[in-house]
Chain A
Amino acid sequence: MNLQWLKGLGALGVRLAKMVAVILLIAIFNFMLVRAAPGDPALVMAGQSGATDAAFLERVRADYGLDKPMATQLVTYLGKIVTLDLGYSHRQQRTVASAIAERLPATLLLTLSAFAISLVGGVVLGALAGVRAGKLSDTLISLLALVIYATPVFWLGLMLVLLFSVQLGWLPAFGYQTIGTSISGWAAVVDKLRHLALPAFTLGMLYLAIYARLMRSSIIEVSHQDYVKTARAKGASEGRILWRHMLRNALLPVVTMAGVQAGTLIGGSVVIETVFAWPGLGRLTYDAVLQRDYQVMLGVFLVLSVLVIFFNWVTDLLYRVIDPRIQAA
């Protein structure tokens, strides 16, 4: 028992060491990539101010540490990373950690909601299409998935706003919450959900289409397995066969894809956050890139990298839950 526990701990330690090494490499790569872009924050700020002089540019560059050699900047940056200091945004005049911490909850709420919608919706629709392969419902679901997949996400978002907000007036057009009133308790929860509905649904649609198609194919493949035929021969109902025998095995490819796309989902929220004025990390990143706010850019890239690595690890753990025959990495 103790040996197994030690072996498990050792495996976890190795996994953690690998994760730290990957994160550091990503940090160095991001630093070099960001610095390779032409222009600097001083020029961008000057461009948006409509006036400048040499002293102003010098001061901004000194504030940003851009007057130091590149190697010095990199070493300083890595030193701060190791001590979990993400730096200071001179443009926003606050720490990068506080800027990210302020926006991260909104992005997590949006992406996790979209993730849940896409996963549940995709699995349900895909399973339905798979067990009724060749029938009308399968055709309709497959067609729907194809149309959603081919539709630009931002256009879909705008059309949903036109329908549900402008025409029907059911849901707010954008924003995170109703502003200027003091709502609390359940009213605040409902208010948040109303604002979340359209962006989460829009963001989740593309992935719902992917998971539906994947689940359909997976169900069709699993339905030809011997154990399914055996279960049918033994008189089990189709519902029991689907739920107890087919679903867990058919889920594996979907879980793999979902784990890979979890990171993409967070990065892909930029467009949705822009369309719906959702105050999340995606918008923070987009603004930081345009403004050459290097510290914020690097901080966000680092946090996103950590999240992707974390989601990959969770995916590996889920495999063991779904199929205990799979060894943990």
Chain B
Amino acid sequence: MNKREFHKYLLATGALGLAEFPPGITAAHGQTRGGTLNSIVQPEPPILNLAVSQLTPTQMVSGKIFLSLLTYDVNLKPMPSLARSWTISSDGKTYTFKLEPNAKWHDGKPLTSEDVLYTVKEFLPITHPRAKAIFGRCESITAPDAQTVVFKLAEPFGPFIGAFDISNLPVMPKHIYAGTDVVKNPANLNPIGSGPFKLKEWVRGSHIHLVRNENYFKPGLPYLDAIIYRVVPDGASRALALENGTVQLTQWTDLELFDANRLAKKDNLAVTTKGYEYFAPIMWLEINNRTAPLNDKRFRQAVMHAIDRNFIKDKILYGFGKVATGPVNSKTKYYEPNVKKYDFSIDKAKALLDEMGLKPDAKGVRTTVRLPVSPYGEMVQRTCEYIRQSLAKVGIAVTLESTDPGSYTQRISNWDYELNLSWLYQFGDPALGVTRNYVTSNIRKILFTNTVGYSNAQVDKLADQAAVEVDEAKRGALYSEMQKIIVDEVPIAWLVEMDFPTIHDKRLQNLVTSAIGIHESFDTVYFKG
């Protein structure tokens, strides 16, 4: 496809605000149609249907096989995908999507509004952990014709337009899944999607081989012939693979950050930290608010002062990140920078602990707390060790407890900890990925909820009001006020806004075109020259 054809395609979509290239997409000047992109997937996904499995590796591979109605640019602005255009009613309750008329499933059957309806109303409620919370707000979801889907909300929900990405709403083929046990359908291992790539071969423990979908609805795309995801469990081997050209792309935590820094300096490789804006995790230290002395705000503020977060960012994360200021990542909507600041100060930390009457004993220890170390990489281990070292200076003795995934998730779910190092995705909007950790109604013995047990009636009220507020400015003001309260009370010690390096062969173009980066469909990715 040449530049003129590409422009004509974009204009023909009629999508809002799309009279030019979406941010990040370059015209395919001098591109080579063809080539096989080799990348890493670690750990290996258990299945290849991201409507059933929400694991990151599944999302990354399946995002080439399946599509959603929308995607989002690096500024979290919605862009068309299976939906070529959409409108939102003035009261913020009715969302109408017009589908691509030429979209087909890999088996040649047409993709219609019936597939979207089936996915949202029958499939996802069974399998998807977030679907009910999002689409359960609809009082009706209808399909007036084969190319139109209408979502009608019971009341306005501000982040609703941000919920149509591939991780929330991967559209499933009704003709494959209807009437079957969707969890055990064989298509989960041999998926039929509508995306630019389809599965050719999956050799467990070795690789997943995707090939071009010749019937993709965007003419001339995808450029790549194939994508091969190699399963490489050892970190050193992954670094070697990129270094010797066996693979041309690594992402997320494929590489240890010291390897990432080293390899990013190679002449043939480029590094970017864009493409994670939708996830925007903050590495933080959860503090169990239930038990003394952690239930005292001054203790938690002392923890914030005692940890040199710049050190974590520079020495443990090798510069990949930014010191966090509060519960909302600076890349997420409605981020409020004007909150109380916690500078690194041992003296301030000690003063707060003295003020609350927590005096050190003969050995200088004021209290002892437990920190179960999650088994998700060397970076976690090093950060926990640094936290132990930092808090020891103010008299808080930290006992690090090694765990495996099963033990770790069990302990956190059951609130069996005093401190916990973790990070969660924000999904582009505080209502989708932030307030779940701070509202009283979400204090539950389940992961990724308000496991620290924080409760503030004003925060609850602000979160509820902001979720249904349609006016952007008012919504922003509500979230600002909420952030100021939370930052003052420090239920969680926010450490660093994490960046992840995507390192790739410089010949690869259009790799990051949206806020979900390497989870995108890769339909415009090509090798230059």
A, B co-complexed: yes
Q: Which of A21-29, A140-148, A218-226, A270-278 contacts B (4 or more CB under 8 A)?
A: A270-278
Q: Can you report 11 residue pairs joining A to B where beta carbons are below 8 Å apart?
A: A39-B407, A44-B405, A44-B409, A46-B409, A46-B447, A49-B129, A94-B189, A166-B244, A174-B240, A180-B36, A277-B206
**Which of B101-109, B228-236, B344-352 contacts its partner?**
B228-236
Are A179 and B405 also in contact (CB < 8 A) when A47-B447, A50-B425, A53-B446 are?
no
Query: Quick check: is B413 within 8 A (CB to CB) of the other chain?
Result: yes
Pairwise interchain contact A179-B228, C-beta atoms closer than 8 A: yes
Q: Is A292 an interface residue (CB 8 A)?
A: yes
Chain B residues with Cβ below 8 Å from A41 are 406
Interface membership of chain B positions 403-415, coded 1 if the CB is closer than 8 angstroms to chain A and 0 otherwise? 0111111110100
Is the CB of B514 closer than 8 A to any CB of chain A? no
Q: Pick from B133, B203, B409, B447 the residue with the most CB of A within 10 Å.
A: B409
Cβ of B54 under 8 Å from chain A: yes
Neighbouring B residues of A92 by C-beta, 8 Å: 46-47, 204
If A93-B189, A279-B206 touch, whether A180 touches B405 (CB-CB below 8 Å) is no
- The A-contacting residues of B in range 382-415, CB under 8 angstroms, are 404-411, 413
Q: How many residues of B contact A (CB 8 A)?
A: 58
Number of cross-chain contacts by CB at 8 Å: 166
> Counting CB contacts under 8 A, is A194 at the interface?
no
Is B424's CB within 8 Å of the partner chain A?
A: yes
Q: Is the CB of B129 within 8 A of A53?
A: yes
A280 touches B205 (CB 8 A): yes
A173 touches B246 (CB 8 A): yes
A41→B129 CA distance, assembly (Å): 15
Which residue of A39, A165, A176 is within 8 Å of B206 (Cβ)? A176
A304 lies within 8 A of chain B by Cβ: no
Q: What 7 A-B pairs have minimum CB-CB distances, sorted nearest first?
A: A39-B406, A279-B205, A49-B54, A43-B409, A39-B410, A47-B409, A56-B129
By a CB distance below 8 angstroms, the chain A residues around B1 are none
Q: Which residues does chain B contribute within 8 Å of A238, judged by CB atoms?
A: none
B448 close to A (CB within 8 Å): yes
Q: Is A40 engaged at the interface, CB distance under 8 Å to the other chain?
A: yes
- B186: A residues at CB distance < 8 A: 93
Q: Chain A 25-61 against B: per-residue CB contact (8 Å), 1 yes, 0 no?
A: 0000000000001111101111111111111110100
Contacting pair A37 B424 (CB below 8 A): no
Contacts of B373 in A (CB 8 A): none
From 435 to 460 in chain B, residues with beta carbon under 8 angstroms from any chain A beta carbon are: 444, 446-448
Interface residues of B, Cβ cutoff 8 Å to A:
36, 38, 43-44, 46-47, 53-56, 126-130, 132-133, 183-184, 186, 188-189, 203-207, 209, 226, 228, 230-234, 236-237, 240-241, 243-244, 246, 375, 404-411, 413, 424-425, 444, 446-448
Partner of A290 from B204, B237, B244, B404 at Cβ < 8 Å: B404
Contact A53 B237 (CB under 8 A): no
| Cβ–Cβ contact B44 & A50, under 8 A | no
At the interface, yes or no: A67 with Cβ under 8 Å from chain B?
no
How far does the Cβ of B72 sit from chain A's closest Cβ, in whole Å?
17
Given A55-B132, A166-B240, A39 and B409 touching (CB < 8 A)? Answer: yes
When the two chains form the complex, which single residue of A38, A55, A161 contacts B406, counting CB atoms closer than 8 Å? A38
| Contact partner, B233, options A37, A283, A292, Cβ 8 Å | A283
For A166, what are the chain B residues with a Cβ–Cβ distance below 8 Å?
Answer: 240, 243-244
B405 x A292 contact (CB < 8 A): yes
Neighbouring B residues of A276 by C-beta, 8 Å: 234, 237
- Docked Cα-Cα span, A123 to B129, in Å, equals 58
Q: Which of A165-217 contact B (CB under 8 A)?
A: 165-166, 169, 172-177, 179-180
Chain B's closest residue to A98 (CB) is B204
Contact in complex: A93, B233 (CB < 8 Å): no
B residues near A131, Cβ cutoff 8 Å: none
A47 in contact with B206 given A274-B233, A277-B231 (CB within 8 Å): no
Contacts of A303 in B (CB 8 A): none
Minimum C-beta distance from A305 to chain B (A)? 22
Residues of chain B lying within 8 A (CB to CB) of residue A180: 36, 38, 209, 226, 228
| Inter-chain contacts of A37 with B (CB < 8 A) | 404, 406-407
Say yes or no: is A245 at the interface (Cβ < 8 Å to chain B): no
* B410 adjacent to A277 (CB under 8 Å): no
- Bitwise interface map of A from 73 to 95 toward B, beta carbon under 8 Å scored 1, else 0: 00000000000000000111110
Partner of B47, one of A49, A52, A93, A177: A93
> Which residues of A have CB within 8 Å of B410?
38-40, 43
* Residues in A neighbouring B204, C-beta threshold 8 A: 92, 99, 102-103, 279
CA of A171 to CA of B393, assembled, Å:
51
Q: List the A residue with the shortest CB-CB distance to B448.
A: A51
Task: Write out the residue numbers on chain B whose beta carbons fall within 8 Å of the beta carbon of A283.
Answer: 205, 233
Residue among A38, A40, A106, A290 with max Cβ neighbours from chain B (10 Å): A38
Task: State in angstroms the CA–CA spacing of A39 and B404 once bound together.
Answer: 9
Residue numbers in B under 8 Å from A176 (CB-CB): 203, 205-206
Q: In this complex, what residue of A is CB-closest to B46?
A: A91
Which residues of A lie under 8 Å from residue B56 when comparing CB positions? 48, 50
Question: Which A residues lie within 8 Å of B425 (CB)?
Answer: 50-51
* In contact, A47 and B246 (Cβ under 8 angstroms): no
CB of A53 to closest CB in B, whole Å: 5
B409 engages A277 (CB within 8 Å): no
The complex places the Cα of A180 from the Cα of B203 at a distance, in Å, of 12
Assess whether A63 is interfacial by the CB under 8 Å rule: yes
Q: Does A228 contact B (CB under 8 A)?
A: no
Other than the known A43-B447, A53-B132, A93-B183, what 13 A-B pairs have Cβ atoms closer than 8 Å? A37-B406, A53-B133, A59-B127, A91-B46, A93-B188, A93-B189, A99-B204, A161-B237, A161-B240, A174-B234, A177-B206, A179-B206, A279-B206
Chain B CB within 10 A, most for which of A43, A54, A158, A175: A43
- Decide if A93 touches B46 in the complex (CB within 8 Å): yes
Find out whether the CB atom of A40 lies under 8 angstroms from the CB atom of B406.
yes
Do A43 and B237 have beta carbons less than 8 Å apart? no
- Measured between alpha carbons, how far is A274 from B132 in the docked complex, in Å? 38
Alpha-carbon distance A158/B132, docked complex (angstroms): 47
User: Is A93's CB under 8 angstroms from B184's CB?
Assistant: yes
**In the complex the two chains form, what is the Cα distance from A137 to B110 in whole Å?**
75
Tell me how far the C-beta of A161 lies from the nearest C-beta in chain B, rounded to whole angstroms: 6
| Set A45, A278, A279: member contacting B55, Cβ < 8 A | A45
User: Which of chain B's residues have a CB closer than 8 A to the CB of A57?
Assistant: 446
Give CA–CA (A52, B413) in the complex, Å: 11
A57 to B445 alpha-carbon distance, docked (Å) = 11
A307–B207 CA distance with the chains assembled, in angstroms: 28
